[in-house]
Amino acid sequence: MSAVQAVDLKRTFRTRTGLLRRTAKDVEAVRGVSFRIEPGELFGLLGPNGAGKTTTIKMLITLLLPTGGSASVLGHDVVDDVREVRRRIGYVFGGDRGLYERLSAYDNLRYFSELYGVAPREQKARIGELLELVGLTGRERERVEGYSRGMRQRLHIARGLLHDPAVLFLDEPSIGIDPVGARELRATIGLLKEQGKTVLLTTHYMFEADELCDRIAVIRSGEIVAEGTPTELKQRVPGGRVLEVETYGVPEATVASVGEVGGVRSVAMEERGQQQVLILQCEPDAEVTQGVLARLGGVRVGRVVSREPTLEDAYVELVTRA
């Protein structure tokens, strides 16, 4: 039995506009998503903003009803067996919210222990274990309002694990956390994997997915466009290489014309401070550097680097493909 299974899962939202003449519009957020997660697996769901990651997770954790298809967690249907699903899952989302600011970390955990059915005599030991796991031992009596974002995020994970769920849903847990905090968080997620938890993780950070995930599905516009191990996904950038060109103030029209250079498969632009870095997916043996620089013309150019494709390149290729 799979830990999580989604079969042709769909979710349509209806939005209404206008005051007197109300017009309804249907928006398909998730359009027939199917995947399986095996017990003990760490599965990544990657995709750009608005791709349908959070909507998919919310259907799996019973907070949203699907408008089509079906899904189950540990064999329990997410529509019909709501209580059974909720007993077996933990849900952690990223950001500052979701905790009682005026309570201490310990009291927050105590409150949610009660609501998530942790037996009173087990609570103290369980909370102690989890504080140790997320590295908050010694700070548990402080009010959450004084916590850093990284500490809050680790507290969120502890909260999600209170009732020892078999399946954990982590929705962009590292969003907005500094590099040190994010590293600590990845270590915590790694520990969960070692403990045999099944984890569904959504993230925007490719190195995070590459480091942690056993398998990854890339979702774009509500549909899964690729699925496989990180290595398999990297191989989807077929035998090519990547050219990175640092530019300053490059116009969009010029970026488009760079994409037309022979040997260039696709081009994406990334803002890095004052720089715009052009990331070009190229044919394996094509010599494109001269052609690209010629197209850039008077644009100021910094470093030009050629490298092997990463998971991020595979991701960009998958989500930007028409």
Partner 1 sequence: MERIGAVLHQQLVCYRLQLRVLSTSLFDGLLAVFFPLMFATAALLVYRIKGDPEAMQYAGLGAAIMGMWTCQGVIASSLLTRERWAGTLELLVAAPTPLSRVLVPITMALSTIGLYCVVATILWERWVFGLRLEIASWPLFVLSVLMAALTLALFGFFLSVTAVRYRTSWSLGAALEYPGWLLCGFLVPVELLPDWIHPLSWSIPTTWAMAAVRESANGGSPWADLARCAAIGLAYAVLASYLGRRLVDSARRNATLALT
Q: How far is the CB of 169 from partner 1 (least distance, A)?
A: 10
Instruction: Supply the DSSP symbol for 236.
Output: T
Angle in degrees, 0-180, between the axes of helices 120-133 and 149-161, rounded to the nearest 10:
140
CA distances from 320 to 159, 296, 305, 317 (A): 36, 22, 21, 6
In the block, residue with structure tokens 């850039």:
296
Nearer to partner 1, 87 or 236 (CB): 87
Nearer to partner 1, 103 or 133 (CB): 103
Q: How far is the CB of 273 from partner 1 (least distance, A)?
A: 31
Cα 266 to chain centroid distance, Å, stands at 24
Instruction: Supply the DSSP symbol for 289.
Output: H
Q: How far is the CB of 88 from partner 1 (least distance, A)?
A: 9
Nearer to partner 1, 62 or 188 (CB): 62
Nearer to partner 1, 63 or 269 (CB): 63
Q: How far is the CB of 280 from partner 1 (least distance, A)?
A: 38
**292 three-class SS:** helix
Q: Which residues bind partner 1 (CB under 8 A)?
A: 13, 58, 61-65, 83, 86-87, 91, 93, 95-103, 107, 110-112, 114-117, 119-120, 159, 163
d(CA 196, CA 217): 20
Nearer to partner 1, 166 or 301 (CB): 166
Q: Please state whether beta strands 223-228 and 215-220 pair in parallel, antiparallel, or not at all (unpaired).
A: antiparallel
**309 three-class SS:** coil
* Token digits of residue 292: 């690209």
Closest to 137 measured CA to CA, from 148, 145, 126, 129: 129
Q: How far is the CB of 320 from partner 1 (least distance, A)?
A: 28
Q: Kindly report the length of the chain.
A: 322
Nearer to partner 1, 143 or 183 (CB): 143
Q: How far is the CB of 159 from partner 1 (least distance, A)?
A: 8
